[in-house]
Structure 1
Amino acid sequence: MSSPPPVSIVEAPGNEELPKTLSRAKKMVLLAIFCLAQFLDSFNTSALFSAIPSLEISLNIAESQSAWIISAFQLTFASFLLISGRISDVYSPKAAFISGVAGLGVISLGAGFADNKIVILTLRALIGISAAMTIPSALTLLVKVFPDPLEQARAIGVFGGCGAVANGAIFVEYASWHWVFWFVAIVALPVALGCIFVIPPQPKPLDHFESQGSKFKRLDIVGVVMLTIALILFVFAVTSGSANGWGTAMVLAPLVISILLIGGFIYWETLLPANKAAIPPRTWFYKNFSVLFATALLPYFWWNAVYTILITLWQNIYHWPVISSVIHMFPIGVLAFAMSFTGSLSRVLSPKWIILAGLGFLVIATTLIAVGGGPNQYWPFIFPAFVIGSAGSMLIFTHANIAIFQAAPPSMAGTVGAIFNGALQFGSAIGLAAMSSIQTSVEDKHGGSEEYSGRAAAFWFLLAVVCVEAFAVLVFYRTGSDHLPQTPDAPASECLEK
C-alpha cells in the first residue's frame, strides 16, 4: 500500500491558516523578503571579517579584542533565538519579523556613525538581538506561505542559500567599514516599512480567545531566561578560552555556571505542561530530531572555519589585498547558492542519503585544505576544496533544515527554527574555539604563525568532526518516517486553557 500524501502545513490540526488565495507572484515577493532578511543577518557577520584590520586601526583596539566585534553579534544572536521563536509561536510572527528588521535597520544606522569600541561592541550585540527576531519568524511565515511540501522544501533551501552570498568586502576595500552598517540600514528600513503592507494579516489561531496573561505564561519566561543566560555564558567561555587560556577563572567560572543552568533548564521543562514549556522534553524524541540537531552543528562551523583561517592567512601572511582575498572566496558562495535549489530532492530521496553525500564531499574538501595551503596551491587544492566542500555543506544545511521541520509539528515552527539556527551558531562558536586552540598550540611548537602546520592541524581536527557526524547520521537516522505526514499538532484540548 502506498504511503499517504504529506499533510499540508496549513491543513495540520490546530494550525493557523493563511489565506489560500495567495498568488504565485505574491508568494515569490514574500520569499524574496524573507531571503533578504537572511542575507542581512549573514552580511552582518561576513562583511566585517574582511574589515577587522581596518577596525583595529580605526578604533585603536588589539587583535585579541577585535574578535569580539564578530563574537558580540554571534553571542546575542544565538542566545536570543529561542525567545524569538517562542514569541513567533505564541504571538504574531509578522510582528516579530517586522520588529526585528526595523531594529536591524535603526541600530545599524547608529553603528555606522560610531567611532568608539565600547559603543560598537554594544551596538553589535543589539544588532544580534534584532537579527535573532527575524529568523524564527521568517521560517514560521515561510512554512505558512508555502504549505505544499515540495514548494516548502524549495523555499527553505533558497532561504538558507541567500546567507551564503552575503559579503561586504567591496565596501571595506573602496569605501570604509562604516558603509557595512549603513548598507544594512539602507536596505532594512524600507523593507520593514513595506512588510507592514506586503505580509498578509495573520488569521486568529484557535487560542485567540486566550487572555494575554495566559499567553504570556506560555512564553515560559523562567525557562527562556535561564537558558539564555546559560547560552550567553557558554558562548562567552568557549570564545574566550582560545584567547585567554582554558584554565583561567574568566573561562572556567562562566563555563561551569552555564552547564549548571542548562541542567536546571532541562529539569524545569520537565515540570511544565507541554503547551507551556519553551522546549518540551518530547521535542527531542520526534523522529530524527536529535540527530538532525547534531547535524546542524556542522555547516556553519565548516564555512566559518575555512573563511576565518584562510582569509587571515592570505591577508596577514601572504599580504593579499582584501578584494583579492574575497574574490578567491567566491566559489564558496556561488556553490552554496547553487546547491540551495536542491530542496526538491528531499521529496525523491531520503534526506539521510543526501546528508551523507554532503558529508562525503566535506571529507574530500577538508582533506584537500589540510594538505595544501601554500600561496601557490590555491588552484590544485583550495579551489576544488571550496567547490566540493561548499556544495557538501549546503546539501547538509538544506536537507537537515527541511527534515527537521518535517519531524516537528507546524505549531512549533518558530521554536524549531530557533533550535536549528541555534545549533548552527553554537557549532560554529565551539568548533572555531577548539580549532583556534589547536592551531595556537601547534604553532607554538612548529614554526609559529608563518608556517601552515598549525592551520593544517586545525583542519585535521575538523575532518575528524565531519567523520563523527557521518557515523552518527549513518547509524541513528531512521528512514522509516521519510515522506510521511508531518508530526501532528497536539489536540486543541492539550493546547488551550479552559
Structure 2
Amino acid sequence: MSSAPPAVSTEPAPSTRRGGWTAMILLIACAAQFMVVLDVSIVNVALPDMKASLGLSPAGQQWIVSAYTLGFAGLLLLGGRAADLVGARRTFLVGLGLFTAASLACGLAADGATLITARAVQGIGGAILAPATLTLIMTTFTEPRARTRAMGAWSSVNAVGGATGAVIGGLLTQYAGWRWVFIVNVPIGIAILAAALLYVSGAHRGHGGLRRLDLPGALSVTVGLTALVYGIISTESSPWASPKVWGALTLGILLLAAFAVIESKVAAPLVPLAVLRRRTLAIANLVMIALGSAMFAMWFLLSLYVQQVLGFSALKTGMWFLPGCLAVIIGTRTSTHLLRRTGPRPLLVTGMAISTFGFLWLSRIAPGGVFTTDVAAPFVFCALGLGMSMLPVTAAATAGIDRREAGLVSGLVNTSRQVGGALGLAILAAIAAHTARGHLSPGVQALTADYGHAFLCAAVFTACAALGSLLLPGRPATAVPGPTPGGAE
C-alpha cells in the first residue's frame, strides 16, 4: 500500500482499496467522538471541587453540565447539515479546533461565570464535531458488514466515553486538580487534529455551501431549549408561578414553535419536516430522548450522591464507576453481535427493561443501606441496559437513509440524546430539590430521599423508552445500521 494520501475525489474510494487508511479514519473519528462524549460526564466527579474553588451554588454546579449539553444539543442539527453541505473534513477540523480551544479556556477559568460560558462554547464545538465523526464513518465504510463493525465501534465509544468519564475525572481531580479534566483535552485535540490533516482527505467534501445553512432555525431551537431548561432549573429556588419560571418556559415554547414554522418555510431547513414523518426515525428519536434523560441524570446524580451522602473522595468515586463502565462495554458489545440477527426492537426493549429494574432498585436507597447491594449492584443493571440500547436505537434511526442525509440524521440522533439529557437532568434535579425542601428531617436523610425520588423518575423514563421501542419494526436488521447510497426509507 502506498504511504501517500489517496487522490482527492468526490466519491469515497472502496474500502478494499484503502485498507489501513480506512482504519485510521475510523480511529480518528472514534477518538474525537470519545473526547466529545467524555466531556459530558468527566466533570461530574469534579463538581464538588469546582464548587469549593469557584464558590458555585447548587444551580451553578448543574449549569456546568447543562451549559455544555445545551450548546451541544441546540447546534447539533446545524453541525449535521454543515457536514453534509460543506464537507465532513472541513466541519470536523473546525469543530475540533473550537472544542480544543474552549477546553483550554475552561481549564483556565477564574470564576463560575467564565467557566459556564466556556463550557457552552465547548458544547458548540462538540456540536460541530460530533456529527462529522459519524458522517466520516458512513461515507468511508460503504460495504454493509464493514459499516456495521465501524458503527459498532463508534457506538461503543459513545457508551464507554460516558461511562469512563467519572473514572478519568476522579483520577485527574484527585492527583492533578479539577482544571485538568478540561486541560487534558488540549494535547489530545492537537494530536487528533494533526492526524486528521494527514489522513482525512478531500474525498469527504459536501454538496452545498455555508449560504444554505439554516442559522435562524439553529438560533431559535438553541435559545428555546436553553429557556426551557432555565425555567425548569429556576423552580429549585423560585415557585412555579413566579415570572422568572413561567416567563422562561413560555419563551422556550414560543421559540420552539417558531423553529417549527421556520423549518416549514426556509429553502434548506435544518430538519426537513418530511424526514420527521418517517415512522421509524421519529420513534427512534423519541426513544433516544427518554434514554438520554435517564443516562445523563444517572452519572450526575450518582456522582453527587456517593460524595455528598456517602462521603467518598473524588478518586474513590471514580473507581466506584468502573463496574458500571464494564457493564456498558458488555452491553454494547452484546448488542453489536446480536443486532443483525434480532433487529433493534428486542435489544432495545430488553436493554430498557434492565435499566428500569436498576433504577427502581436505586430508588429504594436509604441512609443506612449497604453500598454494594443498595447502590453498586443496581447501578450495574442501569449501565448494562443503557449500553445494550445505544447501538440499536442509532441503527433504527439511521437504517435506509440516503448518504446525502447522513449528517442530518446523525445530527438528529445526537440531538435527541442531548436534548433528553439536558431536559432530563433539569427535571430530575428539580424533583430532587423539591423533595429535599419538603422533607422534615434535614441532612443525609433528606438528601437520600431526594435522590431516591429522582431515580424513580429515571425509571419512568426508561420504562417509557421500552414501551416506545415496541413500536419499532420487529424484522431482523438485514440492512446495515446507517445510510446506504440510494437507500430507501
Same fold (TM over 0.5): yes
- The residue number in structure 2 matching 1:426 is 419
Please list the CA deviations of residues 266-316 of structure 1 after superposition, one character each: whole Å capped at 9, or x if unmatched.
22322345xx22211111122411110011113332233222222222211
CA 1:370 to 1:24, structure 2 compared with 1: closer, same or farther past 3 Å?
A: farther
Question: How many residue pairs end up in the alignment?
Answer: 467
CA 1:95 to 1:375, structure 2 compared with 1: closer, same or farther past 3 Å?
A: farther
Asked if 1:108 corresponds to 2:109, the answer is no
Unaligned runs of 5+ in 1: 1-14, 492-498
> Normalising to structure 2: TM-score of the pair?
0.88
CA 1:305 to 1:418, structure 2 compared with 1: closer, same or farther past 3 Å?
A: same
Please list the CA deviations of residues 464-490 of structure 1 after superposition, one character each: whole Å capped at 9, or x if unmatched.
22222222222x223359425877778
Q: Distance in 2 between the 1:317 and 1:254 partners?
A: 32
Asked if 1:437 corresponds to 2:430, the answer is yes
Please list the CA deviations of residues 224-265 of structure 1 after superposition, one character each: whole Å capped at 9, or x if unmatched.
333233223223333433344433322322321221222222
1:54-453 matches, within 5 Å, as 54-162=49-157, 163-164=161-162, 165-166=164-165, 167-202=168-203, 207=207, 215-272=209-266, 276-341=268-333, 342-374=335-367, 376-446=369-439, 447-451=441-445, 452-453=448-449
Partners of 2:74 and 2:218 within 8 A in 1: no
Please list the CA deviations of residues 82-104 of structure 1 after superposition, one character each: whole Å capped at 9, or x if unmatched.
11111111111111111111222
**2:269 maps to amino acid:** A
Partners of 2:86 and 2:205 within 8 A in 1: no
Q: Distance in 2 between the 1:175 and 1:184 partners?
A: 14
Unaligned runs of 5+ in 2: 1-8
- The residue number in structure 1 matching 2:459 is 463
Q: Distance in 2 between the 1:67 and 1:487 partners?
A: 36
1:18-33 matches, within 5 Å, as 18-20=12-14, 21-33=16-28
Question: More deviation in 335-344 or 185-194?
Answer: 335-344
**2:276 maps to amino acid:** W
Q: Distance in 1 between the 2:452 and 2:273 partners?
A: 40
CA 1:54 to 1:121, structure 2 compared with 1: closer, same or farther past 3 Å?
A: same
1:412 to partner: Cα distance: 1.3
1:128 to partner: Cα distance: 1.1
**2:277 maps to amino acid:** F
Q: Distance in 1 between the 2:362 and 2:108 partners?
A: 39
CA 1:308 to 1:225, structure 2 compared with 1: closer, same or farther past 3 Å?
A: closer
CA 1:228 to 1:436, structure 2 compared with 1: closer, same or farther past 3 Å?
A: closer
**2:361 maps to amino acid:** L
Please list the CA deviations of residues 377-421 of structure 1 after superposition, one character each: whole Å capped at 9, or x if unmatched.
222233332222212111211110122111532211111111111
Please list the CA deviations of residues 125-178 of structure 1 after superposition, one character each: whole Å capped at 9, or x if unmatched.
111111111111111111112222333233223223222323321110011112
Q: Distance in 1 between the 2:213 and 2:402 partners?
A: 18
Partners of 2:92 and 2:132 within 8 A in 1: yes
Partners of 1:351 and 1:399 within 8 A in 2: yes
Partners of 1:362 and 1:393 within 8 A in 2: yes
CA 1:134 to 1:237, structure 2 compared with 1: closer, same or farther past 3 Å?
A: same
CA 1:242 to 1:160, structure 2 compared with 1: closer, same or farther past 3 Å?
A: farther
CA 1:480 to 1:301, structure 2 compared with 1: closer, same or farther past 3 Å?
A: same
Partners of 1:354 and 1:399 within 8 A in 2: yes
Secondary structure of the 2:235 match is helix
**1:199 maps to amino acid:** V
Q: Distance in 2 between the 1:61 and 1:490 partners?
A: 52
Give the aligned CA root-mean-square deviation in angstroms: 2.5
> Normalising to structure 1: TM-score of the pair?
0.87
Secondary structure of the 2:289 match is coil
Q: Distance in 1 between the 2:337 and 2:388 partners?
A: 12
Partners of 1:140 and 1:413 within 8 A in 2: yes
Q: Distance in 2 between the 1:278 and 1:416 partners?
A: 10
- The residue number in structure 2 matching 1:479 is 474
**1:222 maps to amino acid:** P
CA 1:122 to 1:436, structure 2 compared with 1: closer, same or farther past 3 Å?
A: closer
Secondary structure of the 2:379 match is helix
**2:394 maps to amino acid:** N
Q: Distance in 2 between the 1:488 and 1:55 partners?
A: 46
Question: More deviation in 248-257 or 410-419?
Answer: 248-257
Q: Distance in 2 between the 1:367 and 1:150 partners?
A: 38
Partners of 2:367 and 2:444 within 8 A in 1: no
**1:464 maps to amino acid:** V
Q: Distance in 2 between the 1:175 and 1:234 partners?
A: 36
Question: More deviation in 42-51 or 477-486?
Answer: 477-486
Q: Distance in 2 between the 1:481 and 1:399 partners?
A: 11
CA 1:199 to 1:80, structure 2 compared with 1: closer, same or farther past 3 Å?
A: same
**1:470 maps to amino acid:** A
Q: Distance in 2 between the 1:325 and 1:29 partners?
A: 34
Question: More deviation in 323-332 or 102-111?
Answer: 102-111
Q: Distance in 2 between the 1:96 and 1:375 partners?
A: 51
Question: More deviation in 450-459 or 130-139?
Answer: 450-459
Secondary structure of the 1:68 match is helix
Q: Distance in 1 between the 2:371 and 2:10 partners?
A: 51
Please list the CA deviations of residues 54-75 of structure 1 after superposition, one character each: whole Å capped at 9, or x if unmatched.
2122223333323222222122
CA 1:407 to 1:203, structure 2 compared with 1: closer, same or farther past 3 Å?
A: closer
Q: Distance in 2 between the 1:246 and 1:46 partners?
A: 29
Partners of 1:78 and 1:422 within 8 A in 2: yes
Q: Distance in 1 between the 2:411 and 2:233 partners?
A: 21
1:111 to partner: Cα distance: 3.0
